[in-house]
Amino acid sequence: MEAMAIYCRPGRYVDSDHPEIRRFAAEAGTGRDDREKAVALYYAVRDGIRYDPYRIDISEGGLKASRTLALGHGFCINKAALYAAALRALGIPARLGFADVRNHLTSPKLAAVMQTDLFIFHGYTEVWLEGRWVKATPAFNLSLCQKAGVLPLEFDGRTDSIFHPFDRSGRRHLEYLRHRGTYEDVPRDEIVSAFLATYPMARAWLRGSAAIAGDFEAEAVAASEEE
């Protein structure tokens, strides 16, 4: 069916035909059926690729799934695109979803740079399994969640995996404010336009030169412990 075929084809950014993406998918996506393979790939991306918003890169090259795989780190859009690419490499339909969220898991340094706790175009992945779309959010790696007292997002291939509103201590974690819909590939033009209108650092992110010195995981944990 053509409507589903678009979610199996390689995209500009969801470059599922890249040799390294195909290798990663074959090695990590083990299982007896699509659901088991999707679950295995979810954890490979969630924990194998470190969440790092200190090195946001929204250049054309920076948003490619293969680039994220090579770097071993990325922010939510990067990790969602990589997960979608790996799924497609195994013939499992996948697409990208986006939402605006208010994120309470951050560091003082990132908050100062962004000048807001609003994260627009937060990226997640939707996977076609057992006849329906299931949401999966591989953004925060397990070590970050454990150290910061945040409940890690699990995925079983049947239940939507989206952020918890509260952390382990009952503190606000993340609020979904606006859903922006689903896409077959990263909508870079829309993201760039929205980021430029929202974030002071967006032009540097566009050049791929916005690295913030420091260790986000360590600093986010320290900030969490002070609350």
Residue 145's closest CA among 108, 174, 110?
A: 174
Evaluate if pTM is beyond 0.75: yes
d(CA 89, CA 170): 39
Phi-psi region of 181 (alpha: psi -120 to 50; beta: other; left: phi over 0): left
pLDDT at 216: 80
Which CATH number does the domain housing residue 91 bear?
Answer: 3.10.620.30
The three-point CA angle 88-32-3 to 5° equals: 30
pLDDT at 114: 83
- Tally of structural domains, the chain: 1
pLDDT in tens, the chain (227 residues): 567 899 999 999 999 999 999 999 999 999 999 999 999 999 999 999 999 989 999 999 999 999 999 999 999 999 999 999 999 999 999 999 999 998 766 677 887 888 888 899 999 999 999 999 999 999 999 998 888 777 888 999 999 998 755 455 555 557 888 999 999 999 999 999 999 999 988 999 998 877 788 888 787 766 555 55
Q: Domain range holding 110?
A: 2-226
